[in-house]
Structure 1
Amino acid sequence: MRRDTFLKSLAALAAAGALPNAAWAQGANVKMMIPANPGGGWDGTGRALGEALRDAGVASSVTYENKGGAAGAIGLAQFYNSAKGDPNAMMVMGAVMLGGIITGKPPVSITQVTPIARLTTEYNVFVLPASSPLNTMKDVVEALKKDPGSVKWGGGSRGSTEHIAASQIAQAVGVPAAKINYVPFRGGGEAVAAILGGNVTVGGSGYSEFQQYIESGKMKAIAITSGQRVKGLEKIPTLKEQGIDVEIGNWRGVYGAAGITPEQRAALTEMIVKATKSKAWQEALVKNNWTPALLTGKEFDAFVDKDFSTLRATMVRAGMV
């Protein structure tokens, strides 16, 4: 029997519930939707996960599609429409997408696809280009107080965790959040280019997106949104220790297609759990300073529901909704 025929037979048997999850998973040809442009946190997460799936032996191949825009809503809509019922399809997502759904109210919502797992948590880092006359978050805050519009904050799409953090920083120092001059970008690569080019005053994102530029001296890391200094990033001061009472994390996860069966969801979950135990995934965690935060099943469902409600309340208070 030809290999492609064999794999199709496996998938058909699995869809009918005739094979255990592990057997179905071995022949998976995974299609990974990354609802952001190349170079950002979702892109890095999706590609690291794909490598981990192969390393764990639960996927024979992984193909990627980047579709950025609207905090992931464009990629989400395409994933929903094109991957219905596909047991091998996955989509990277996270807190940023929830924020985008709250602010943008897109026609397709995250509730229309299938939750699989939370993978990591990452705190946002705020940076300045090396050429900036500003050197600290205190300098940024002083400029913000004098003229809020003069400080351009660059980061992910509207409703992203760095957008929320910028609004919370403004509120914490007595500046109305509505006066924040926030410049959203479709992907991490665009944001990095804007920061390095001096087109924004201060940039925010996960450390992994800025790491090479911080280490090479092209960017100055001035604050991290964690409650205390992060292991491996001890040189970056927290907002709280600089007198700004703001703490916010950015989690990332993965969803399956709409219309898959409970058995197919269980198979995808099993694949993800095995992938997170692989050497490739452990190396990715260290390389990118990601905090492992695996959560699956009903616990993940409940977490997303709660985070959506909490995030919406925070955005309302910040004047973003």
Structure 2
Amino acid sequence: MRRDEFLKSLAALAAAGALPLTARAAANVKMMIPANPGGGWDTTGRALGKALQDAKVADSVTYDNKGGAAGALGLAQFVNGSKGDPNAMMVMGAVMLGGIITGKPPVSLSQATPIARLISEYNVYVLPANSPFKTMADVVAQLKKDPGSVKWGGGSRGSTEHIAACMLAREVGVDPAKINYVAFRGGGEATAAILGGNVTVGGSGYSEFAEYIKAGKMRPIAVTSPQRLKGINVPTLKEQGINVELGNWRGVYGAPGISAEQRKHLTDMVLAALKTKAWQEALEKNDWTPAVLSGPAFDQFVDNEFAMLRATMVKAGMV
């Protein structure tokens, strides 16, 4: 094969996404983070971006934060603005599925391309340090007395902390529809509201509140995990007689309309990033549990999660 023919063949393979990672120029990745800075999706997206660069599969990563409506605003921008872009990614997870169920946005997650589930994380409920309440039992007693007087602060409507609060209400004999839930567009806003005493109790992934818990500015009162989290001495809801367990997971999607080869290339890039030291450090720092799933298994998982969350939310009176 002549040199010019070889170069043409190489270019054709690259355009189709069929070259191995080691034979391609590193990508310029565009990362949609459908939340404001400071929250779990933001932390996950930026950690993945760093890992992609450390794995040398991305030359650069740019980030676009678009918060609101449990990720639906960012999803709409991603679906409408990234069609066919083989270097575009979007962080998503259980919270987005819940938001889609309750909000019924004009775009669908199925329009984007599933790439991989990355991590799982359980929520922690916290009180402001100066709260008159000391335990979840105190919060539940007030909830039974006057449901509206207890303000629950967390992510967008349909987030896992919102769903868990409604499940908790149902378990203790309170109408879930009476939960006074204050939704925030990002983790930074929720944290400020808790520290300022503007909500009674706050919920989120442990990593978002860890520094404030360690500094004594927040008091953790329960986690939504089946057992106490490793190295974190906070009782589960189940330990406290409240039969609620709910996990949060986060993943990444590609743009609508990319080819099967381009999807495989993005998947290979992400899986390579998850093997880097940078990603392992992010897992440890944020107390994330690895939960890697890709290909058809991830597609099926998302379908099953939609069904499970919808059933849970109907029972909790949210839909």
Asked if these proteins are the same fold (TM beyond 0.5), I'd say: yes
Does the residue aligned with 1:222 lie in a helix, a strand or coil?
A: strand
For residues 36-66 of structure 1, give each alpha carbon's deviation from its aligned partner in whole angstroms, at most 9, with x where no partner exists: 0000000000000001101111111100000
AA aligned opposite 1:232: G
Structure 2: distance between partners of 1:254 and 1:218: 32
AA aligned opposite 1:163: H
Structure 1: distance between partners of 2:304 and 2:65: 28
Deviation at 1:21? 3.8
In the other structure, the counterpart of 1:114 is 113
AA aligned opposite 2:101: I
TM-score (norm: length of structure 2): 0.95
Structure 2: distance between partners of 1:254 and 1:178: 32
For residues 7-37 of structure 1, give each alpha carbon's deviation from its aligned partner in whole angstroms, at most 9, with x where no partner exists: xx99974564274141465420100000000
AA aligned opposite 2:269: M
Q: How does 1:268-279 map to 2 (within 5 A)?
A: 268-279=266-277
The 1:285–1:26 alpha-carbon spacing in structure 2 relative to 1, beyond 3 Å, is farther
For residues 243-278 of structure 1, give each alpha carbon's deviation from its aligned partner in whole angstroms, at most 9, with x where no partner exists: 110000000000000000000000000001010000
TM-score (norm: length of structure 1): 0.95
Does the residue aligned with 1:119 lie in a helix, a strand or coil?
A: strand
The 1:306–1:61 alpha-carbon spacing in structure 2 relative to 1, beyond 3 Å, is same
Contact 1:25 1:271 in 2 (8 A): no
Deviation at 1:131? 0.7
Match of 1:296 among 290, 294, 297: 294
In the other structure, the counterpart of 1:315 is 313
Does the residue aligned with 1:319 lie in a helix, a strand or coil?
A: coil
Contact 1:32 1:62 in 2 (8 A): yes
Q: How does 1:36-47 map to 2 (within 5 A)?
A: 36-47=35-46
For residues 191-233 of structure 1, give each alpha carbon's deviation from its aligned partner in whole angstroms, at most 9, with x where no partner exists: 0011011110000000111011001110001000000011121
- Paired positions, count: 312
AA aligned opposite 2:222: A
* Structure 1 position 201 matched with structure 2 position 193: no
Structure 1: distance between partners of 2:293 and 2:58: 21
Q: How does 1:73-112 map to 2 (within 5 A)?
A: 73-112=72-111
Contact 2:94 2:248 in 1 (8 A): yes
Structure 1: distance between partners of 2:31 and 2:92: 11
**More displaced stretch, 13-22 vs 84-93:** 13-22
For residues 170-211 of structure 1, give each alpha carbon's deviation from its aligned partner in whole angstroms, at most 9, with x where no partner exists: 011110101100000000000001101111000000011101
Contact 1:14 1:21 in 2 (8 A): no
Contact 2:28 2:61 in 1 (8 A): yes
The 1:49–1:14 alpha-carbon spacing in structure 2 relative to 1, beyond 3 Å, is farther
Contact 1:232 1:289 in 2 (8 A): no
In the other structure, the counterpart of 2:3 is none
Structure 1: distance between partners of 2:18 and 2:180: 54
Match of 1:252 among 250, 253, 264: 250
In the other structure, the counterpart of 1:5 is none
Contact 2:17 2:261 in 1 (8 A): no
* Structure 1 position 238 matched with structure 2 position 236: yes
The 1:57–1:142 alpha-carbon spacing in structure 2 relative to 1, beyond 3 Å, is same
The 1:301–1:10 alpha-carbon spacing in structure 2 relative to 1, beyond 3 Å, is farther
The 1:120–1:221 alpha-carbon spacing in structure 2 relative to 1, beyond 3 Å, is same
Structure 1 runs of 4+ with >3 Å offset: 9-16, 23-26
In the other structure, the counterpart of 1:70 is 69
AA aligned opposite 1:259: G
AA aligned opposite 2:258: I
The 1:27–1:124 alpha-carbon spacing in structure 2 relative to 1, beyond 3 Å, is same
Contact 1:208 1:288 in 2 (8 A): yes
Structure 1: distance between partners of 2:110 and 2:256: 9
The 1:32–1:279 alpha-carbon spacing in structure 2 relative to 1, beyond 3 Å, is same
AA aligned opposite 2:156: S
